[in-house]
Amino acid sequence: MNRSQYFNYIEEKLGILAYRINLKGKLNILDLHIHSENFYANLLNTINGWHLENLNPFKQNVEAIDLIDHSNKLIIQVSATNTKSKVESALAKDSLKSYSNYTFKFISISKEATDLRKSTFANPHSIKFNPNTDILDNKSVLNSVLSLETDKQKAVYNLIRKELGNEIDFIKLDSNLALIINILSKEDLRFSNSEIINPFEIERKIAHNEIILTKSIIDQYAVYHARLDKKYTEFDNSGSNKSLSILQMINSIYINSCVSFKEKDSDFIFLRVIESVKDKVLNSANYVTIPIDELELCVNIIVVDAFIRCKIFENPQDYNYALT
């Protein structure tokens, strides 16, 4: 494994975790917060030699404190929100009075905190807190990994592989999925409508599959169906079965997700499909890197389109999404 592959792998997996946390924050259905706390405790312990532990098993829901290290006198809040008000709200909690000789650290796990570090914060309990060094994010954590000795870097890699993903696949292959993402990302998507779909039928399918919390995703991105349909037609002009291969891949991802999660929670499965499609794109050799929010936009459009086209989830009786 070379250094470039090593750090790309770590950066990618931390980014995927951030994506999951963002979804959890929006939809409140994935119980990822406790997992993220434990993961970052283990990660920072491995990198820094700390002794962080999750405080929740010992004292439930202590405000402003998720992780604690009594040896190094550290208290840490792990958050998917990285705003000045979020940090100041934590610093103002009365729970910090019991840890006046500890250092408070804030970990932003979903967004970079470069601008946040430049802010000045109200600190009513005068707890030890330096924004420049005590506000962490995935980028700063990755920079810390860069300075580690080889043995510790290997330990970090093994931890992330165990917690967040599989071995690095050094041989990446081209995919039609990545190619359509590349094409779609160049489109002006500010204005779209789906004149060729029957919204009543889409609502029937949503209700039939008991999709509740992720219904908003379907409602938001269904309007791009006609635009994607046009792109699929153009795409197929360069080779037969290209769009079919994409839709079949998404169908396979859906089936695997259903098999993996016996509870059959439709909202969870829907999010799992979105994440897996995103992973497939990121691991395609022909994927042209675009900002993460643009990638998420394109992936949501493609997955919702697959839902409309009967490739994922069960169809109600006599389902017909096309207007006649």
* 280 occurs within a structural domain: yes
One domain for residues 195 and 100: no
One domain for residues 160 and 101: yes
Condensed to tens digits (0 to 9), the pLDDT of residues 130-154 reads 999 999 998 898 888 888 888 888 8
Greatest mean pLDDT among 31-35, 71-75, 151-155? 71-75
One domain for residues 87 and 188: no
One domain for residues 233 and 125: no
pLDDT of residue 106: 95
Condensed to tens digits (0 to 9), the pLDDT of residues 38-61 reads 888 999 999 999 999 988 655 555
Q: What mean pLDDT comes out for the span 265-294?
A: 90
Number of domains in the chain: 2
One domain for residues 139 and 262: no
* 171 occurs within a structural domain: no
SS3 readout for the chain: CCHHHHHHHHHHHHHHHHHHHHHHHHHCCCCCHHHHHHHHHHHHHHHHCCCCEECCCCCCCCCCCCEEECCCCEEEEEECCCCHHHHHHHHCCHHHHHHCCCEEEEEECCCCCHHHHCCCCCCCCCCECCHHHHEEEHHHHHHHHHCCCHHHHHHHHHHHHHHHCCCCCCCCECCHHHHHHHHHCCCCCCCCCCCCECHHHHHHHHHHCCCCCCHHHHHHHHHHHHHHHHHHHHHHCCCCCHHHHHHHHHHHHHHHHHHHCCCCCHHHHHHHHHHHHHHHHHCECCCCCCCHHHHHHHHHHHHHHHHHCCCCCCCCCCCCCECC
Question: Model-level pTM?
Answer: 0.51
One domain for residues 142 and 33: yes
Beta bridge partners of 173: 284
Domain boundary among 112, 142, 164: 164
One domain for residues 76 and 187: no
Q: Is the pLDDT of residue 23 over 70?
A: no
* 94 occurs within a structural domain: yes
* 252 occurs within a structural domain: yes
* 170 occurs within a structural domain: no
* 320 occurs within a structural domain: no
Could you give the CA distance from residue 40 to residue 159 in angstroms, rounded to a whole number? 10
Query: What are the structure tokens assigned to 90, written together?
Result: 């934590």
More confident residue, 310 or 110: 310
18: pLDDT confidence band, cut at 50, 70 and 90? low
Mean pLDDT of the residues in the chain:
84
One domain for residues 147 and 19: yes
* 155 occurs within a structural domain: yes
One domain for residues 232 and 193: yes
Enclosing domain of residue 137: 3-164
